[in-house]
Structure 1
């Protein structure tokens, strides 16, 4: 192992993000003998391998003064702790963490930023795009390793040179062990538990209720779909109550189910016939990949992240963002059971490349390369 203790700091907007996507990698660093700390907003979760949890006052608004306060605290923390690597996740936290790194000089830590989806693309309003792209450009020179997980983000990063070294990855890897195609008995039991008729055509969209996820579009589309179509919307978030009220005001309230937070999400996929998404932007969405592994075909907006999973795979249909009529056409096209079965089988096959057991060695290889190279540059090494 190392001649000195190697210290790693994981940073994200929330501890929930770290708990959801990074547990295997936190354990991996700890198993190599590294001292691993985690910094984020929200209630600290129990994370195996993490020896210190650090609360930061991140808020979703980029303009919030609390985010600058978080950057100031991080700058002090970096000097006190002497981390060798920062592993950055989520756009807001990554930006303010890199602000904290700027100006630290030659002894600064190695910075690895994993892009879980830039919050802009070619269709973003020009002023917003300029602001968000400008934030990435001004922190690019302290971004030693930049990991992207979809085609459009990789092209953005390479075109604008948003990192010193840019690598395309297959995301963080998904543990598919719970997400298998349903047996007839599992399907029937799942529908009974959710109050959904056995003969319904069920659409499922598992996501945080937010403007970006755009559940409102699906709710509006339900009024123009046949009476046998049901919409299942598990999740929680700031817009849950507004979406529930929107459904009640429409004609499809009885066919729209809000089960809230669901710890056994495989039950919702087992109850469904089609996975849908109305999201405005994605990185590489776990919810769709889990549904695909359960053998569900997908109807989703033609945005980054979705196109990587669906274009040329035979796993589903893409439709223009915010086009309710196009969504309804996609759902009607998937009403035929034979077509759903064929696309569901293609979905199950094509999503295997994103399995945790395949992605884990790719990412840990990059982590080892970055850390070993940085320590050698700084006069140390790891075994």
Structure 2
């Protein structure tokens, strides 16, 4: 029986993005194994073996180098046919393991969810991460990327041995994020204690410096001071900076206009009662939250970074603003706030564009890429 190994920094990453892929390879007759840090107790379906590895969030972590030795033993004992890598550090340290093997797996695929060395990154970090990718290039048979900028980076620095492919993300089940009528939207608002007059912005992301929630709080303060009094900001998610952002909201005296939901499974409902999806993130791959919001039919106002600029067509389904430019961001918010017809036009465009990123369109294409690459290597 052929074996495939999926590797990610956390098992929750596997759960969130790869269940349909695990199922597909299982149905193709593969024995499916996964590696990642255990951070929940959920059962992962379609998996024959779960191998816990406690990856740490640092390329200089001694523990991660020790993890490489452990993974080397696993690779040697299990004799995988395909190793499918995800997330930057887990992918690097696993390839480091492969370099220590006498006989490597037949196919190593690195699926890039967002390189950490684009032009928005500090020079030292960019140089470090780029050097790391170059170092393990010799065992990187194939690269799959999710946005045009990462595609160009991989080509420019020649970070793969054989082939590179550009896909439309991991695929979103857009059936779970339907667009609704204005009547139903108002009903959902009433049920959740929002007014029909509220102009609601929504951002779904973990609370971190990279996701940049502080920018939204500062922007909201400016919008309120500029007279946009009935504006609300919905922040979904949790993370290390959640409490800090709650305190900062109180400091700015805007906490009546900010709703922190914490972790919630009602993401679709919150999209449906909102008016605009916003994202001030510093770096992305091809963000699920934007595609989900597009599927619901929300205009998007997002930072002009990779991933975002693959999804947002300016003046069609939203706007892109220069990273951390509050004035530009607020001007786009005001533009949509004052023009219901523009909101409707962008709603139609967003729903249309989201279909290209559905799991139905992405899954089989990506699986075919992996299978065809495997056939070409054996």
- Alignment TM class, shorter chain as reference: over 0.9
CA distance in 2, matches of 1:286, 1:198: 27
| C-alpha distance in 2 between matches for 1:209 and 1:311 | 26
Select the residue among 318, 342, 361 that pairs with 1:339: 342
CA 1:186–1:355 in 2, change beyond 3 Å: closer, same or farther?
same
Does 1:96 pair with 2:93?
yes
Counterpart for residue 367 of structure 2: 364
User: Given the alignment of the two structures, is residue 146 of structure 1 paired with residue 143 of structure 2, yes or no?
Assistant: yes
Q: 2:277: which partner in 1?
A: 275
Q: Find the aligned partners of 1:186 and 1:71 in 2 and give their Cα distance.
A: 52
Equivalent residue number for residue 355 of structure 2: 352
2: CA distance, partners of 1:242 / 1:312: 33
> Which of 56, 77, 87 is the equivalent residue of 1:80?
77
Structure 2: tracts of 5 or more residues without a match? none
User: Which segment drifts farther, 174-183 or 150-159?
Assistant: 174-183
* Cα offset, 1:107, TM superposition: 4.1
CA distance in 2, matches of 1:185, 1:346: 20
- Mark the CA change 1:82 to 1:263 in structure 2 (over 3 Å): closer, same or farther: same
2:127 is the alignment partner of 1:130: yes
Gap change, CA 1:235 and 1:21, over 3 Å in 2: same
**Structure 1 segment 1-383 matched on structure 2, within 5 A:** 5-42=1-38, 43=40, 45-164=42-161, 165-225=163-223, 226-311=228-313, 314-335=316-337, 336-374=339-377, 377=378
Contact 1:111 1:142 in 2 (8 A): yes
Q: State the 1:313 CA deviation.
A: 7.3
Q: Which moved more, 1:236-245 or 1:40-49?
A: 40-49
TM-score (norm 1): 0.94
- Between 1:228-237 and 1:175-184, the stretch displaced more is 175-184
Deviations 1:126-152 (A, max 9, x none): 111101111111111111110011011
How many residues are matched? 371
Take 2:89 and 2:185, find their aligned partners in 1: how far apart are those partners? 39
C-alpha distance 359-76 of structure 1, shift in aligned 2 (>3 A)? same
8 Å contact from structure 1 (residues 15, 45) kept in 2 = no
Question: Displacement, 1:197?
Answer: 2.2
- Cα deviation 1:85-124 (Å, max 9, x = unaligned): 1111111111111111113234434111100011221232
Secondary structure of 1:230's aligned partner:
strand
Contact 1:141 1:163 in 2 (8 A): yes
The 8 Å contact of residues 57 and 69 in structure 1, kept in 2 or not, is answered as no
CA, structure 1 residues 313+356, in 2 after alignment: closer, same or farther (shift >3 Å)?
farther
The farther-off stretch of 58-67 and 190-199 is 190-199
Structure 1: runs of 5+ lacking an equivalent: 378-383
| Worse-superposed segment, 195-204 or 92-101 | 195-204
Deviation at 1:22, TM superposition (A): 0.5
Shift of 1:49: 1.2
Asked if the contact 1:319/1:326 (under 8 Å) is kept, the reply is yes
SS at match of 1:9: strand
**Post-superposition shift, 1:185?**
4.5
Distance in 2, matches of 1:122 and 1:249, equals 33
CA distance in 1, matches of 2:84, 2:190: 43
Give a deviation string over 1:31-79, Cα, whole Å, max 9, x none: 1111001110023532221011111011112222221222111011001
Q: Contact (CA 8 Å) 2:4, 2:31: kept in 1 or not?
A: yes
For normalisation by structure 2, the TM-score amounts to 0.95
Distance, in Å, in 1 between the alignment partners of 2:369 and 2:50 is 24
Q: What RMSD, in angstroms, separates the aligned Cα atoms of the two structures?
A: 1.4
Secondary structure of the corresponding residue to residue 174 of structure 2: coil
CA 1:330–1:212: 2 relative to 1, 3 Å: same
- Alpha-carbon separation, structure 1, partners of 2:196 and 2:131: 51
Say if 1:170 and 1:353, in contact at 8 Å, map to a contact too: yes
Q: Do the aligned partners of 1:151 and 1:308 also contact (CA within 8 Å) in 2?
A: yes
What is the alpha-carbon distance in structure 2 between the residues aligned to residue 68 and residue 45 of structure 1?
A: 27
Using a 3 Å threshold, how does the CA distance of structure 1 residues 194 and 141 change in structure 2: closer, same or farther?
Answer: farther
Distance 2:141 2:42 in 1: 28
